[in-house]
Amino acid sequence: MDDLTHPDSISRLRDSGKRVTPERELLLQIIEDHAHLDAEEIYRIAQKERPQIGLATVYRTLAVLKDLGIIRTINLGENHGHYEILSEDHVHFVCLTCGRVTDIPVPRALHKAAKDEQFSVQRTRLVLFGTCRFCTDKSSATTEVTDA
Ligand SMILES: [Zn+2]
Ligand SMILES: [Zn+2]
């Protein structure tokens, strides 16, 4: 699901000259393992690893990582951001039934349109809402006997 995730964000943190604190390393690891979480979800996972971590620390650490350009926030149609490793530009499919988020490469037609306009793209923000294949399978499970 997260094929586009950059594998060594921790060395990018190291290269930035910023200290690799246990909190920074932990949050990066969480974001690498589960893309598209929001801050509260990251906080809940972080707490299992480091029960003493506070929500304020999580927000502060996320802000540092974002300033360094290692992670980015994306808007998935809710009123708060979701975090992912800043990697190859991509767009998102969001399932309205289960909330699953899928990374999709930026469609070629968009690159072509930008080129035609001599527009240089720095980042792409595109979210498509609908039903993922797992939820589609479920709703047609009455006719098909497949257990997805
Ligand atoms: Zn779904
Ligand atoms: Zn993504």
Rounded to the nearest angstrom, the distance between the alpha carbon of 143 and the centre of ligand 1 is 19
Once rounded to an integer, what is the mean pLDDT over residues 1-6?
Answer: 46
According to the CATH classification, is domain 9-85 in 3.10.400.10? no
Nearest ligand atom owner, CA of 100 = 1
pLDDT, position 94: 95
Q: How far is the CA of 67 from the centre of ligand 1 (A)?
A: 32
The string of pLDDT tens digits covering residues 61-111 is 999 999 999 999 998 888 899 999 988 889 999 999 999 999 999 989 998
Residue 119 CA to residue 72 CA, distance in Å, equals 22
90-139, CATH topology level: Dna Ligase; domain 1 (3.30.1490)
| Ligand sitting nearest the alpha carbon of 134 | 1
pTM of the model: 0.78
Contact between residue 28 and residue 13 where contact means Cβ atoms under 8 Å apart:
yes
Model pLDDT, residue 6: 46
pLDDT at 142: 54
pLDDT score at 97: 95
> For the purposes of burial, counting CB atoms within 10 Å of the CB of 89, is it exposed (0-12), middle (13-18) or buried (19 or more)?
middle
pLDDT per position as a tens digit, 110-124: 989 999 999 998 888
Kindly give the distance from the C-alpha atom of residue 38 to the centroid of ligand 2, in angstroms, as a whole number: 12
Tell me how far the alpha carbon of residue 102 lies from the centroid of ligand 2, in angstroms.
Answer: 7
Q: Closest-lying ligand to the alpha carbon of 37?
A: 2
Q: Tell me if 49 sits within 8 A of 26, measured CB to CB.
A: yes
DSSP per-residue string spanning 2-36: -TTS-TTHHHHHHHTTS---HHHHHHHHHHHHSTT
**Residue ranges of the domains in the chain?**
9-85, 90-139
Portion of the chain with pLDDT greater than 90, in percent: 64
Q: How remote is the CA of residue 145 from the centroid of ligand 2, in Å?
A: 32
| Collapsed DSSP state (helix, strand, coil) of residue 40 | helix
What is the torsional sign of CA 20, 24, 30, 31?
negative
Q: How far is the CA of 21 from the centre of ligand 1 (A)?
A: 36
Spatial strand order in the sheet of 127-130: 101-105, 90-95, 127-130
Q: Which ligand is nearest to the CA of 84?
A: 2
* pLDDT above 70 (res 140): no
**Alpha carbon of 36 to ligand 2 centroid (Å):** 6
Residue 148 pLDDT > 60: no
Average pLDDT, the chain: 87
